[in-house]
Amino acid sequence: MGASRVSAQSARSDIRLRRLFDAHRLEVLAYCMRRAARWDAHDAAAEVFAVAWRRIDEVPPSPRHFLGSTALPAEFWPISTAAQGDRTG
């Protein structure tokens, strides 16, 4: 594979990730904020998009399920006391 082909592929992946991020960043962050403290939620949302970047070829045209399942693993959530209080009260 030539350097120009790799470069074009990389550019398409970058554009696709940018569009994905622009279209879904607020809903991913909101999802994360319902499950963790504010700064943990920002880190979690960033991790969701890092995974999407690494697996950009696996992201379907309708990415909500992919993004949600990326954010779901239990070990990913250090549940905050505030979030726990919201669930019980």
Which of these CATH numbers, 2.60.120, 1.25.40, 1.10.1740, 3.30.420, describes 3-88?
A: 1.10.1740
The model's confidence at residue 81, banded by pLDDT at 50, 70 and 90, is very low
Q: What is the mean pLDDT of the chain?
A: 82
Mean of pLDDT values over 78-88: 50
| The two structure tokens encoding residue 41 | 């939620």
CA distance 40 to 26: 15
| Burial (CB count within 10 angstroms: exposed 0-12, middle 13-18, buried 19+), residue 37 | middle
pLDDT score of 75 more than 90: no
> What ranges do the domains of the chain cover?
3-88
Tracing tokens 């669930």 back to the chain, one arrives at 87
pLDDT tens by residue, 24-37: 999 999 999 988 88
pLDDT score of 53 more than 80: yes
pLDDT score of 69 more than 70: yes
pLDDT score of 89 more than 70: no
